[in-house]
A and B are shown apart, each in its own frame.
Chain A
Amino acid sequence: MILQINGEPVDVQIDTLADLLVARGFGEAKVATAVNGQFVPATARADFVMSDGDRIEVLAPMQGG
């Protein structure tokens, strides 16, 4: 299925958000996630099953004022 990960289309064969993060190298990273504009807490990622076309946001600490 095709997902939008941080705005980039990616073709994956992965079911859960947790597995997607591991596959993309975010397994240990300090990041927060949202799917289709809804916050998905870290504790809910393992059970969160993604669907074709989902928009995944992976956000990390960044400079801010």
Chain B
Amino acid sequence: MRDFYGTTLANGFMLGSAQYPSPAILADAFKRSGASVATVSLRRESGQDRAGQDFWHLIRDLGVHILPNTAGCHSVKEAVTTAHMAREVFDTKWIKLEVIGEEDTLQPDVFGLVEAARILSEDGFQVFPYTTEDLVVADRLLHAGCEVLMPWGAPIGSGLGLNNIFGLRAMRAHFPDVPLVIDAGLGLPSQAARAMELGFDAVLLNTAVAKAGDPAAMAEAFATAIRAGQLAAIADPMEPRDMAAPSTPVIGKAFLE
């Protein structure tokens, strides 16, 4: 498995921490998932209830790698400032860089993304850019200092799966040595398995688990699918073909007409 800025992960499951029905269900889902990375965010701390402090203790106790995001940022300045604040709070160089460019699809502003990635990489961050499957943008991100790419499967929270298998397969083939993560859009474990079968190194998802009727069970389902897909990729799948080919030997077949 390719490493992520020198860190080898136990598995290819990165799980978001938002939208769970309760903190207890969140913790249960993470335990059942065995996920190696948890994504987190920063928001205004309210004066009284100190929700952020309780959440921090919960996440820290999970014992997973922490990947803070810049979710909701629409400008380079906003994303860069948020990244700096996240680095201090979470004490990590990792940043899931989101520069959102369009409200309906939440697709990245790839121009701002490249600029923010360059600024942050030069400042010592290890950037995980949320991008599209565009190869030219991917190349610009690598030149900006990124050593990981995170193309979307489908719009965030849509559950549509892998919208552009051709583009994702091309990306995998074009950057054989770059750790690639499918980030966003997955709705079902089978879609995660497909991503891993294509040779992706990890998947990052949130809503599909958090909004399931039983988040912990769905977390385990995804973990199993991710493992299956990864094993399949390692096992070197057969090439599909249009015509049938008998699997049972023809030679030696009895003549019974």
Contact = CB atoms under 8 A, between A and B. Distances in A.
Interface of A: 6-7, 24-26, 29-34, 37-39, 41-42, 57-65
13 contacts: A6-B46, A7-B44, A30-B52, A39-B84, A59-B43, A60-B42, A60-B45, A60-B89, A63-B26, A64-B17, A64-B68, A64-B71, A65-B16
B251 to A, nearest CB: 56
A32 B41 contact: no
Nearest to B67: A64
B7 interface: no
B126 interface: no
B165 interface: no
B41 A64 contact: yes
Contacts of B81: 34, 37-39
Interface stretch (B53-61, B168-176, B224-232): B53-61
Given A26-B45, A32-B86, A60 B18 contact: no
A32 B156 CA distance: 27
Contacts of A64: 16-18, 39-42, 68-69, 71
A9 to B, nearest CB: 13
Nearest to B157: A65
A30 B207 CA distance: 26
9 tightest A-B contacts by CB? A60-B52, A64-B41, A65-B16, A65-B206, A32-B85, A60-B45, A62-B43, A63-B18, A61-B56
A42 B42 contact: no
A65 B159 CA distance: 14
Nearest to A29: B53
Q: Say which size band chain B's interface belongs to.
A: 35 or more
A65 B156 contact: yes
B59 A61 contact: yes
B105 interface: no
Interface string B15-49: 01111100000100000000000011111111100
A41 B85 CA distance: 8
A37 B77 contact: yes
Contacts of B90: 61
B50 interface: yes
Contacts of A62: 40-43, 51-52, 55
Contacts of B42: 32, 59-62, 64
B257 interface: no
A34 B18 contact: no
Contacts of B40: 61-64
Nearest to B15: A65
A13 to B, nearest CB: 18
B239 interface: no
Interface string B83-95: 0111011100000
A23 B18 CA distance: 30
**Most chain B CB inside 10 Å of its own CB: which residue of A25, A30, A38, A58:** A30
A60 B88 contact: no
